[in-house]
Amino acid sequence: MQVSNTIDCNGLSPAPTLLRIMQALVGREDSTSPLNVLVGADCNCESLAVSLGPLAQDVQLASDAKQFAAVN
Amino acid sequence: MLEESSETSSPYASDPETPGFAFDPDDPWTQTFQEGLARADLKDKTVYEVGVGTGINVAFILQSCGARRVYGSDLDPRLVVLAERNIKILSPEHAKHFKPVHGSVSLVDTDEAREKIAKTDVVIACIPQVGEPSDERLTAFREAQSIELAEGAGDEAEDHIAHYYPWSLFDQYPYNSVGLGLNEALMRRIREHAPKAELVMNFGCRIGTEIICECFEANGYKPEKIASKIVLQHSGTDISFFVSLEKALNGTEYEKQLVCKFYGDPEGKRPLSATKAQEMINDDPNVPLYHEVAVIRGTPI
């Protein structure tokens, strides 16, 4: 099953957010563009990126979906 | 004077019909759920049960909780027919107050189900919280954590759909990441079609009640735990999903935020992670392991 290039993690606490990102990255067929991850405004994106390790380079975190359009 | 033994304490005149494709009504999950239902103020309410199974809860709600009317549906169309039959056996005087939605109904995804949900005061459900072990993406995630499926975990029992849900199909729901995608999908549908209705849902709290309550809050419900019991882990239910969650978080700063909750004793005094529980199962597939089952009531915020 194809995974969407944008996933909604808004409202999730950090641990399930990290899991959701990892699960989405495993299921992707198109790995040429980053996975867009919509997070809450209070998300500590820096900390999340550290926990993602090398996977962080495949992910674009933003609290507003409009920011993705500006990047992709 | 008649003596009453604990084995004959059933309030019903006869036993329900329980074929292999139905969830066992004597399971402690059902006992816990009914403890919660008894505390859920259902008197004179209109209730909808998502996933009626054998109909044992419908009979309980009508006979012991004083509900005015109960609607009900199930993904397996055989079960609604079975439930109708069982309610006539268990509580014949209340049978006319059960209004089933026939056919295969996923959550409340038919016009008739939605029409009944709109007239409902309380929605009750005990639906799967473990992803289907053979799900393609779940398999990929499990393999990414170098976790093998336990022997026999891919076998399908007759009541398979009472234990697992198609995980990938519910990926649009954020809490699917911890196995709550099906439950979150139901919350959102109820919020849309019956915004004033309360939810009373039964959970196996292997991921902890905190994250389940978080899911309620994120979907606009104030959660309250109204019943809880430590029960034997169903020996046929695969736990590799929970092991995968723990392993994926290993070495990150969030690893202590989500530790699955199994127990080595029926009192719940010896907590075990899912990883430890799986090791014990691998050593002895018949080892008794336990987890909490809790009934959570969600009141619309």
Q: What is the pLDDT of residues A36-67, one digit of tens each?
A: 999 988 888 899 999 999 999 999 998 887 77
Find, in chain A, the residue whose alpha carbon is nearest to that of B250. Answer: A51
The pTM of the full predicted model, rounded to 2 decimals, is 0.90
Alpha-carbon dihedral B44, B47, B53, B58, rounded to 10 degrees: 0
CA dihedral (B268, B263, B178, B37) positive or negative = negative
Instruction: Read off the pLDDT of each residue in A17-28 and give the average, rounded to a whole number.
Output: 90
Number of other CB atoms surrounding residue B8 within 10 Å? 8
Cβ under 8 Å to A: B residues 209-238: 211, 214, 218
pLDDT the model gives residue B167: 93
pLDDT the model gives residue B4: 38
Listed in sequence order, the residues at least 6 apart from B20 whose beta carbon sits closer than 8 Å to its beta carbon are B157, B158, B159
DSSP secondary structure, B125-186, as one string: E----SB-TT-HHHHHHHHHTT-PPPTTTT---TTGGGT-B-GGGGTTSGGGGGT-HHHHHH
Interface test with A, best of B168, B212, B253 (most A CBs within 10 A): B253
Q: What is the least distance, in Å, from the CA of A50 to any CA of chain B?
A: 8
pLDDT the model gives residue B10: 63
Q: Does the beta carbon of B177 lie under 8 angstroms from any beta carbon of chain A?
A: yes
pLDDT the model gives residue B12: 64
Q: What is the pLDDT of residues B204-232, one digit of tens each?
A: 999 999 999 999 999 999 999 999 999 99
Between B167 and A30, the higher pLDDT residue: B167
